[in-house]
Structure 1
Amino acid sequence: MLAGSNLSVVEGREGWLFLERSDGAEPLKAGADLTEWSRTTLPLLRATFRARQARLAARGIALVVVVAPEKASVYDEFLPAGFAQDRPSAAERLTDVLRQDGVKAVDATGLLRQAKGVVPLYYDVDSHWTSFAAYRIYRALVAAAPARLGLTPIPAETIFFRDKPSFGDLGVHLSPERKGLLQQPEVPGGDVEIAVDTFDDREFNFQQHRYPGGRGRALVVRDSFSSFLSPFLSRTFAETTYISPSNSLPDDLVEELSPDLVIVQVAERAMFYAHQPLADWNLRSWRQTFLETQADHPARRHTRRARQALRTGSWAEALEAARKATAVDEDDRLVHNLVAALLHSGDAAGALACCDATKQPANRYRLALEAYALWALERREEAIARIRRALAHQPANAHLQHQAGEWILAQGRSAEALPYLEAAVAGAPAHAPSWYHLGMARHALGDLVGTAAAFQAGGFHPVE
Structure 2
Amino acid sequence: MLAGSNLSLLEGRNGWLFLERYDDAQPLQSGADLSAWSQTMLPQLRAVFRARHERLAERGIGFLVVVAPEKASVHGELLPPGIAQDLPTASERLTAALGADGIRAVDALALLTGAKGPVPLYYDVDTHWTSFAAYRVYRALVAAAPAHLGLTPIGPDCVWYRDKPSFGDLGVHMRPERKGVMQQAEVAGSDVASVIETFDDRECAFQRYTCATGRGRALVVRDSFTTFLAPFLSRTFAETTFVAPSNALPDDLVEDLAPDLVIVQVAERALFYPPDAFVDWSIRTWRQTYLESEAEHPARKHNRQARQALKQGQWAEALAAAEAARARDPEGRFIHNLAEARLRTGDLAGALTACEAFARPKDRLLQTLAAYALWGLAQRDEAIARLKQALAMQPRNARLHFQCGEWLMEQRRPAEAQTHLQAALEGAPAHSASWYHLGMAHHALGVFPAAEEAFRRSGII
Report if TM-score (shorter chain) is over 0.5.
yes
The separation in 2 between residues aligned to 1:359 and 1:244, in whole angstroms, is 33
The separation in 1 between residues aligned to 2:359 and 2:162, in whole angstroms, is 54
1:21 CA drift (Å):
0.6
Paired residues of 2:158 and 2:189 also in contact (CA < 8 A): no
Q: Residue 183 of structure 1: SS of its match in structure 2?
A: strand
1:39-438 equivalences under 5 Å are: 39-438=39-438
Unaligned stretches of 5+ residues in structure 2: none
The separation in 2 between residues aligned to 1:231 and 1:460, in whole angstroms, is 47
1:302 CA drift (Å):
1.1
1:354 CA drift (Å):
1.3
1:82 CA drift (Å):
1.8
The separation in 2 between residues aligned to 1:197 and 1:360, in whole angstroms, is 28
Q: Which amino acid aligns with 2:338?
A: L
The separation in 1 between residues aligned to 2:130 and 2:291, in whole angstroms, is 30
The separation in 1 between residues aligned to 2:458 and 2:151, in whole angstroms, is 41
Paired residues of 1:333 and 1:360 also in contact (CA < 8 A): no
Q: Which amino acid aligns with 2:280?
A: D
The separation in 2 between residues aligned to 1:98 and 1:407, in whole angstroms, is 35
Task: Return 235-244 or 188-197, whichever deviates more.
Answer: 188-197
Paired residues of 1:331 and 1:359 also in contact (CA < 8 A): no
Paired residues of 2:302 and 2:322 also in contact (CA < 8 A): yes
Post-superposition, which runs of at least 4 consecutive aligned residues in structure 1 deviate over 2 A? none
Q: Which amino acid aligns with 1:98?
A: L
Paired residues of 1:332 and 1:360 also in contact (CA < 8 A): no
The separation in 2 between residues aligned to 1:358 and 1:320, in whole angstroms, is 21
1:176 CA drift (Å):
0.9
Q: Which amino acid aligns with 1:146?
A: P
The separation in 2 between residues aligned to 1:297 and 1:127, in whole angstroms, is 37
1:190 CA drift (Å):
3.6
Structure 2 length-normalised TM: 0.99
1:2-21 deviation per Cα after TM superposition (whole angstroms, max 9, x unaligned) = 32131111110001110111
Q: Residue 57 of structure 1: SS of its match in structure 2?
A: helix
Paired residues of 2:190 and 2:212 also in contact (CA < 8 A): no
Q: Which amino acid aligns with 2:310?
A: L
1:324-361 deviation per Cα after TM superposition (whole angstroms, max 9, x unaligned) = 11111121010000000000001111100111222432
Q: Which amino acid aligns with 1:137?
A: V
Paired residues of 2:190 and 2:213 also in contact (CA < 8 A): no
Instruction: Tell me if 1:460 matches 2:460.
Output: yes
Q: How many residues align?
A: 461
2:26 counterpart residue number: 26
Taking a change above 3 Å as real, the CA distance of residues 185 and 353 of structure 1, as seen in their structure-2 partners, is: same
The separation in 1 between residues aligned to 2:225 and 2:199, in whole angstroms, is 17
1:341-382 deviation per Cα after TM superposition (whole angstroms, max 9, x unaligned) = 000001111100111222432000000000000011111000
Structure 1 length-normalised TM: 0.98
The separation in 2 between residues aligned to 1:5 and 1:202, in whole angstroms, is 19
1:276 CA drift (Å):
1.1
Q: Residue 325 of structure 2: SS of its match in structure 1?
A: helix
The separation in 2 between residues aligned to 1:409 and 1:309, in whole angstroms, is 33
1:118-137 deviation per Cα after TM superposition (whole angstroms, max 9, x unaligned) = 11101110000000000000
The separation in 2 between residues aligned to 1:349 and 1:56, in whole angstroms, is 40
1:245 CA drift (Å):
0.5
The separation in 2 between residues aligned to 1:331 and 1:346, in whole angstroms, is 25
Task: Return 295-304 or 226-235, whichever deviates more.
Answer: 295-304
- % identical equivalent positions: 64
Q: Residue 115 of structure 1: SS of its match in structure 2?
A: coil
Q: Residue 114 of structure 2: SS of its match in structure 1?
A: helix
1:408-443 deviation per Cα after TM superposition (whole angstroms, max 9, x unaligned) = 111101011111000001100111111111111011
Q: Which amino acid aligns with 2:244?
A: S
Q: CA RMSD in A?
A: 0.8
1:13-58 deviation per Cα after TM superposition (whole angstroms, max 9, x unaligned) = 0011101111210000000001111111000000000100000000
The separation in 2 between residues aligned to 1:53 and 1:332, in whole angstroms, is 37
1:94 CA drift (Å):
0.4
Paired residues of 2:222 and 2:264 also in contact (CA < 8 A): yes
Paired residues of 1:164 and 1:183 also in contact (CA < 8 A): yes
2:38 counterpart residue number: 38
Q: Which amino acid aligns with 1:119?
A: V
The separation in 1 between residues aligned to 2:58 and 2:361, in whole angstroms, is 31
Paired residues of 1:123 and 1:181 also in contact (CA < 8 A): yes
1:305-327 deviation per Cα after TM superposition (whole angstroms, max 9, x unaligned) = 11111111100000001111111
